[in-house]
Chains A and B, each alone.
Chain A
Amino acid sequence: MRHDDRPRKPLSTAAKLGQGAALYMWRNQKALLALLFIAVVFAFLTEHFFTFYNLVNVARQTSICAILAAGMTLVLTLGDIDLSVGANAGFCGVIAAFLLKKVGIDVPVTFLLVLGVGGFIGLLNGFLVAKVRVPFFVATLATMSVLTGASFLITGGYPFSLLPKAWRLFGRGVIWGVPAPVIIMVLVFVILQIVQSRSILGRKIYAVGANARAARLSGINIDRVRIVAYTLCGVLAGLGGIVVSSRLDSGDPSVGPSFLLTMVAAPILGGTKLSGGEGTMMGTLIGALVLGVINNAMSLMGLNTYWQDVGRGLILLAIVIPQITRRRS
């Protein structure tokens, strides 16, 4: 029988919290175990892994991908995939640099405008998929191409660099010893975890992903839910673009495509099902950290970037294949 079917005894609040935490760990055990295992292995393999500096470094390197993966998790939970998230982030970074340097808009306004641009692109994806009924794969593949091309057109192929100093806060700032991108990442995940597990919207996204027909017949406007999820995903892509442009101190059109694999792999590693209806934000965060640690370790071991790509691809397969064979048996 299932592990949560035991008879219920009255529990103190603390015990309840403990039980909840234990249950949560158990459900996400695979990703967490992987994280711990890999960390221990690399602690032995490489000299610098378990230094504070390096761990903070890993968290910072992970943060941008993790923010994008959070948005992707919303769309994956619907049963769709948004292939354009990375390109959207790259495009938003370029737009940010363009607004700051060429138009001369100040930092806070740029920040909001860029979130709006990302959100609008998400809205467009959602509209194409939900209303025009373009298959999500085709719709987001097309926007991905459009955005990648547009990024290069705007910059003329070269990054806009040397942005205003204040803009550096989002990617390079450090607050109480913690890098700003890490703080942004944690905030994003805390907020989205609450939205996902407690809000009507979160519940509706799960319902549409689990069974869209049943959701519709229970009065849920599935088109609207889909559009909202894509829009949120786009806003997060905008946020990712802001952080990446700030981190690099430039609007670089070439960063977008490099995010795609990690963005899909992190949620899957964290328990999100490609068929929709299942997945948690915390799972995605852990998944992103696992991938971040692996990336970091590969760098520390001195593998060149091409080998790292090969490694990431193999790791994705290694994650997915056991899940599939388990389902089959």
Chain B
Amino acid sequence: MSETDVHGSLLDVRGITKRFPGVLALDHVDLQLERGEVHALVGENGAGKSTLIKIIGGVIRPDEGTLTFEEADVPHLNPHSARDLGISIIHQESELASTLSAAENLFLGRQPRRLRCLVDCRRLHREARTWLDQVGADFSTRTLVRDLAISERRLLELARAISMHAKLVIMDEPTTVFTDKEVQNLFRLVRELRSRGVTTLYISHRLEEIFSIADRVTVLRDGQRIATCPIDQASEEQLVRWMVGRQLKRDFPRRSTPPGEEAFSVSGLTRHGVIEDVSFSVKRGEIVGLAGLVGAGRTEVADAIFGASKFDRGEIRLDGELIRIGSPADAIRHGIGYITADRKLDGLLLSKSIKENISLASLPDLSRFSFIKWQTEKSEAHRYKDLLQIKTPSIQQLAMNLSGGNQQKVVFARWLLVHAKVLILDEPTVGIDVGAKQEIYRLINDIAEEGRCVILISSELPEILGMCDRVLVMRGGRIIRELKGSGATQEEILYYSAGLKEATSTATTRETY
């Protein structure tokens, strides 16, 4: 990307230091943002990205350091004054009022008025429409936010930022739940913002994205700024090296043993209007990928197999025997485990200890006469903590105090402890930093090596291709294609997921990859 549209400094952060009890979150960090640039901020979990954003957004106060916005000192920033200055944050977790409509959210606190105290509904929706059109959102302005998909909520937040004439838009991991098409749309918007002189601070774990959208990149590690440079002077390996402080090759570990005989199969699985006639099988020791866009029905298939949602028709067989699954408890009894996409919402007891989280699905096995055998529980938790290398001083540590990667390992430990024969993984590496991702990949391979069946749902195509023996591409609730893991390409999967013809697959390459 060029730097021709840079017009001087917008935000100058100097020597910012922030201490939390026992942690130096930011250590004399500098950050300069130019007008109209797209600036990427990268770093592993715990590197201090969120803290830095919160300081720029006025949510928390720094202990030391200065902020200069448009050449003026802004010492006592709070969320309101930050917004008034033109700083908009699009948070990872949406901060919209879920029971209000899209239009009401867009103009929350500044609705067009009539007679001073009445909301001018007609104007509200008319103006909301124009802003939503600008960001390429096609949902109605009257849709309640709780009925919007997460990706649509992000667009709504973006529309709000634009409508407030933000000069700096901060996006915290905006694409974690996006399909590739949505990512492309977002990139188009970011470029449009840039052409209007709006600055974007873009935080992402996906390095491919950063290379296709950013002008410059700043790397944080352990609360310190490691480097800032134009993107065309950095390579992916270089960035990763800066982030983790050591050389790290992003590749997928190989497995030595080939898959065994067929062990798990699903046939004709149907939930009306959601999934249609889904059939597939998994061999012992095989990793089968479910690819597709968000909304293609991948998670819904997992939910149905695990008994988390009902299905209308279909058979599930394990080791040749037909099994009936009416609830997650049934699925677990038959040896099926499920790691959900949202580990905080559906996976962890955040306020409880690692030990209690690991033992949660195996309580009957750890008990005698309905009372938990304390020693056994403790030693099992220790065993899996060591086995998965969960980094924590104690198994009494609360789950909420762990990093994303370690939290995910706790969830893995839970399902290893129940000796699940079939493990369904839904986006197992979302929001996990690069180093921990490698460990999760190795873990998944080990699980397969032990002869278990693994079903891997992922929106990261390199992950699907790197990990899976076979890939099933879903679209509109159906499996539309089966591909060999080794021979398939990202383009191939993309074209099938998007419903395009195979013939064009060699003609164009998508920009992100």
Measured CB to CB, the residues of A under 8 A from B are: 1-2, 4-5, 7, 198-201, 203-204, 206-207, 210-211, 213-221, 277-278
CB of B371 within 8 A of CB of A218, answer no
Chain B hits for A210, CB < 8 A = 349-352
Partner of A203, one of B327, B356, B394, B401: B356
Given A200-B363, A210-B349, residue A218 in contact with residue B372 (CB < 8 A): no
Q: Which chain B residues have a beta carbon within 8 Å of chain A's beta carbons?
A: 21-22, 306, 308, 327-329, 331-333, 338, 340, 345-352, 356, 359-361, 363-364, 367, 370-372, 374, 393-394, 396-397, 401, 414
Please determine whether B397 and A217 come into contact, CB atoms closer than 8 angstroms: no
- 10 A-B pairs besides A214-B345, A219-B333 with CB distance below 8 A are A2-B397, A7-B393, A198-B372, A200-B364, A200-B367, A200-B372, A206-B352, A211-B348, A218-B414, A221-B327
A204 to B333, CA, bound (A): 17
Quote the shortest CB–CB distance from A213 to chain B (angstroms).
5
- Whether B350 contacts A211 by the Cβ 8 Å rule is yes
Greatest chain A CB density within 10 A among B332, B351, B360, B363 is at B360
Measured CB to CB, the closest approach of chain A to B245, in angstroms, equals 22
In the complex, the answer to whether B328 meets A200 with C-beta atoms within 8 Å is no
Alpha-carbon gap, A72 to B370, bound state (A):
22
* Cβ B346 vs Cβ A217 within 8 A: yes
Are A219 and B393 in contact (CB-based, < 8 A)?
no
Instruction: Please tell me which one of the listed residues A200, A211, A217 contacts residue B308 in the complex, with CB atoms under 8 A apart.
Output: A217
Q: A4-B394, A216-B328 are in contact. Are A207 and B361 (CB under 8 A)?
A: no
Q: Report yes or no: B338 in contact with A217, Cβ–Cβ below 8 A.
A: yes
Cα separation A137 to B352 with both chains bound (whole Å): 26
Which residue of A is nearest B401, CB measured?
A2
Partner of B352, one of A7, A200, A207, A217: A207
Please tell me which one of the listed residues B21, B328, B370, B374 contacts residue A218 in the complex, with CB atoms under 8 A apart.
B328
B349 pairs with A211, CB closer than 8 A: yes
A152→B394 CA distance, assembly (Å): 56
Pairwise interchain contact B347-A217, C-beta atoms closer than 8 A: yes
- Residues on A with C-beta less than 8 A from B329 are 219-221
Contact across chains for A214 and B349 when beta carbons are under 8 A apart: yes
- Residues on B with C-beta less than 8 A from A216 are 308, 328
Q: Which residues of A contact B364 (CB under 8 A)?
A: 200
Shortest CB-to-CB span from B109 to chain A, Å, is: 22
State the CA gap A62–B371 with chains docked (Å): 30
A211 CA / B340 CA spacing, docked (Å): 14
User: Can you show 20 pairs from A to B with CB atoms below 8 A apart?
Assistant: A2-B397, A4-B396, A5-B394, A7-B393, A199-B371, A199-B372, A200-B367, A200-B372, A203-B360, A203-B363, A206-B352, A210-B350, A211-B348, A211-B349, A215-B349, A217-B338, A217-B340, A218-B328, A219-B327, A219-B328
Beta-carbon contact of B346 and A201 below 8 Å: no
A223 to chain B, nearest CB (A): 10
Residues of A close to B348: CB separation below 8 A: 211, 214
Give chain B residues whose Cβ lies under 8 Å from the Cβ of A214.
345-349, 360
Q: Which residues of B contact A203 (CB under 8 A)?
A: 356, 359-360, 363, 372
> With contacts A198-B372, A199-B370, A218-B360 known, is A213 near B346, CB below 8 A?
yes
Structural contact, A207 and B349, CB atoms closer than 8 A: yes
Give the distance to chain A from B176, nearest Cβ to Cβ, in Å.
Answer: 19
Q: Which B residue's beta carbon lies closest to that of A275?
A: B351
Instruction: State A199–B356 Cα separation when bound (angstroms).
Output: 13
Nearest CB of chain B from residue A222's CB, rounded to whole Å: 10
Contacts of A217 in B (CB 8 A): 306, 308, 328, 338, 340, 346-347
B417 to chain A, nearest CB (A): 11
A4 to B361, CA, bound (A): 26
State in angstroms the CA–CA spacing of A7 and B394 once bound together.
9
Name A194's closest neighbour in chain B (CB-CB).
B371
Closest-CB distance, A302 to chain B (whole angstroms): 44
Whole-angstrom CA separation of A204 from B362 in the bound complex: 11
Asked if B393 and A5 sit within 8 Å, CB to CB, the answer is yes
How far apart are A15's CB and chain B's nearest CB, in angstroms?
18
A277 touches B352 (CB 8 A): yes
- B306, B351, B359, B414: the one contacting A277 at CB < 8 Å is B351
Instruction: List residues of chain A with CB within 8 A of the CB of B306.
Output: 217
**CA A206 – CA B327 in complex, angstroms?**
20
Minimal Cβ-Cβ distance residue in B for A216: B328
CA distance A22 to B223 in the complex (A): 35
Could you tell me the distance in whole angstroms from the C-beta of A278 to the nearest C-beta in chain B?
A: 6
A109 shortest CB reach to chain B, Å: 28
Chain B residue with Cβ nearest A221: B329
Q: Which residues of A contact B333 (CB under 8 A)?
A: 219
Q: Which residues of A contact B328 (CB under 8 A)?
A: 216-219
Q: How far is the CB of B366 from chain A (nearest CB, A)?
A: 9
Residue in A closest to B23 when the chains form the complex, CB atoms: A1
Residues from chain B with a CB closer than 8 A to the CB of A207 are 349, 352, 356, 360
A209–B463 CA distance with the chains assembled, in angstroms: 35
Instruction: Using known A-B contacts A199-B372, A219-B332, A221-B329, determine if residue A213 contacts B345 with beta carbons closer than 8 Å.
Output: yes
A residues within 8 A CB of B340? 217
State whether B396 touches A219 (Cβ < 8 A): no
Q: Which of B327, B363, B393, B394 contacts A204 (CB 8 A)?
A: B363
The minimal Cβ–Cβ distance linking B165 to chain A, given in whole angstroms, is 32
User: Which residue of A198, A218, A278 contacts B351 across the interface (Cβ within 8 Å)?
Assistant: A278
CA distance in complex: A201, B364 (Å): 10
Kindly identify which residue among A1, A4, A200, A277 contacts B349, using a CB–CB cutoff of 8 Å.
A277
Query: What residues on A are CB-neighbors of B363 within 8 Å?
Result: 200, 203-204
Q: Nearest chain A CB to B300's CB is how many angstroms away?
A: 15
**Cα distance A189–B329 when bound, in Å?**
31
Task: Give the nearest-CB partner of A204 in chain B.
Answer: B363
A22 CB, nearest partner CB in chain B, Å: 15
Residues of chain B contacted by A213 (CB below 8 angstroms): 345-346
Chain A neighbourhood of B361, CB < 8 A: 218-219
Q: Find the A residue at minimum CB distance from B348.
A: A214
CA distance A2 to B96 in the complex (A): 33
Question: In the bound complex, do residue B371 and residue A198 qualify as a contact, i.e. CB atoms below 8 Å apart?
Answer: yes
B372 surroundings in chain A (CB, below 8 A): 198-200, 203
A1 and B293 CA atoms in complex are apart in Å by 42
Bound state CA distance, A4 and B397, in angstroms? 8
Which one, A1, A215, A221, contacts B22 given CB within 8 A?
A1
Query: How far is A195 from B367 in the complex, measured between Cα atoms in Å?
Result: 13
- Complex: how many Å from CA A210 to CA B332? 21
